[in-house]
Structure 1
Amino acid sequence: MGDMTPARRVAIGTTALAAIATTPLFWLLDGPDSAQVAAACLQAATGVAALAYALFHRPSPAAPPPAPAPAAAIEVIGTGNAVATAGGTAVTGLTGPVGSGGARVENTGDAEAHGPGSNATTGRGEAPPR
């Protein structure tokens, strides 16, 4: 609503005020008692306040999105030994992408591969082909 032209604001305001004023007016035409008069006044005041708020309220600018949290580092320490046979894969360290947090690989065990198609990775390496 912040980009509404002044002429459009006046047109919408005039139309809304006419609708707000006529609603209790029609209600009160039948000889109202004091409760109906009070209710009509309250209804009209509430309508005028809501209209004024809608026309003149400026929303606050959006806050910038929070900065992304730093990626956690990957740690692989003291993994032990592994053996692969018959086309299997033995990994005692880290394979695959690390991401922006980095990686720390220490004291990995021995990885052994026996037989055709077997793979072994110890320490930091690329993922074996599948």
Structure 2
Amino acid sequence: MTRRVAILLFDGFDLIDAGGPYEVFLTASRLAERDGLAPQYEVLLVSSGGADAVAFGGMTLTQLRDAASIGAVDIAIVPGTVDVASAVADSVLASTVEGLLRSSRVTASVCTGAFLLAEAGALQGKRATTHWEDVDDLART
């Protein structure tokens, strides 16, 4: 059974936070296919409205899927960002994160992506972690 994985991209996201999980899931599928099995994961790069996303440092990713139109996914991943304050204040991004929370069986974040999950209420009453430099700020959210 192929599992659907959505990785949310937005302006200012950390490329390694999205690229790392992307490569892990693609490699798992490639290795399964090499062994004659069905691909294990369908990886979808998504954004709010399908808009292009400019990573921290300036790399632009295009041809993204609209997070609101992909339907149910097994796993949603929210990468981190250097500019946490701007990401958390972005109401369109917040709405997109909330939509992914509703449509995914499992939601995970990488690094400061935890702040976006906290803002959406997904971490209420749960244990979570982030980069050691930001862990005290996350505890206050």
The verdict on a shared fold, with TM-score over 0.5 as the criterion, is: no
Larger Rg: 1
TM-score range, shorter chain: under 0.3
TM-score where L is the length of structure 2: 0.23
TM-score where L is the length of structure 1: 0.24
More helix by share: 2
Where relative contact order (Cα < 8 A, 6+ residues apart) is larger, the structure is 2
